[in-house]
Amino acid sequence: MKLSSKTFCYIGVFLFSIRYASATTIDFEDSSVGNITERYLNLGVSLHSIANSYPLLGPFPAGNTLPEIIGDVIKAGLGITELGTVAVADRQIITSPLSEIKVGDNGILISFSFDVSSVELQGVDTGHNPPPLKSEDESVTLTAYDVAGNKLGFVYSDLNLPGPYDITPASIAFPNIRHVAFNYTGDGYGFYAMDNLVFTAAVPLPNAFFLMLSGLGVLGAIRRKAPDK
């Protein structure tokens, strides 16, 4: 089959868009329970425990600069495979203070070794009483910070999907995110966890443009060396 030069250009642009617009998902089902603070460094992601004053109502009052790391993050089994119509992993990650006296009592700092453009996740309330004793719903605040640790902005989500445990989806998008603080608020007990982390890498526009031109140039050279028959 004979391909035109225009077709080669379309193929190059298509492959470029797939490489640099795809999202990465961590569902925390890939390894055993225990400390996972640096388990995903091969993906450029680290996770740490940060303070989460509780109980509070409304958006979490995150600071204008990067919160202090106070400990590691551990993963533990929840024992639920499906909540309503939303599939939820059996194992969640739960923050713990350095003393590890009580799990799920703090927030989580998600740090990246490169800029990302968006982050989404699920907050999981693992500590409240099941219906009909349920008396509170937790909410999630995501706060984004740049490479210098300055706050870019925040989002607040109080959507609670039905099920034996509340699931609160949340997402945040800003240019050049390097850290996202995951915090929760509510009027009852803590014991909060995070699951299904999804992030999209941000490619600086000058570099992306250069890579695209280089790729198209290579395709063009190949096209010239292989004349149509």
pLDDT tens-place string over residues 27-67? 888 767 778 899 999 999 999 999 888 788 899 999 999 99
The whole-number pLDDT of residue 19 equals 44
99 vs 135 pLDDT, higher one: 135
**Which of 22-26, 29-33, 194-198 has the weakest average pLDDT?**
29-33
Residue 209 lies in a domain: no
Q: Is 185 contained in some domain?
A: yes
Q: Above 70 in pLDDT, residue 128?
A: no
- Is the bond leading into 132 cis (omega within 30 degrees of zero)? yes
Contacts of 72 (CB under 8 A, 6+ apart): 35, 37, 48, 49, 96, 98
CATH of the domain at 142: 2.60.120
147 domain-assigned: yes
Confidence at 18, pLDDT banded by 50, 70, 90: very low
How many separate domains does the chain show?
1
pLDDT tens readout for residues 197-214: 999 999 754 444 455 556
pLDDT at 67: 96
* Residue at 32 is within a domain: yes
Q: What is the 3-state secondary structure (H, E, C) of the chain?
A: CCCCHHHHHHHHHHHHHHHHHCEEEECCCCCCCEECCCCCHHHCEEEEEECCCCCECCCCCCCCECCCEEECEEEEECCCCEECCEECCCEEEEECCCCCCCCCCCEEEEEEEEEEEEEEEEEEECCCCCCCCCCCCCEEEEEEECCCCEEEEEEEECCCECCCCCEEEEEEEEEEEEEEEEEEEECCCCCEEEEEEEEEECCCHHHHHHHHHHHHHHHHHHHHHCCCC
Does residue 91 sit within a domain? yes
Does some domain include residue 155? yes
116 part of a folded domain: yes
Q: Identify the residue with better confidence: 120 or 133.
A: 120
- The answer to the question of residue 106 being in a domain is yes
Tens digits of per-residue pLDDT, 67-114? 999 888 888 766 544 444 444 445 567 666 554 545 668 899 999 999
Report the chain's mean pLDDT, rounded to a whole number: 77
Residue 205: the pLDDT is 45
Residue 86 bridge partners (DSSP): 83
pLDDT of residue 34: 79
Considering only CA atoms, which of 19, 52, 17, 47 is closest in space to residue 31?
Answer: 47
Which range of residues forms the domain containing residue 91? Answer: 24-202
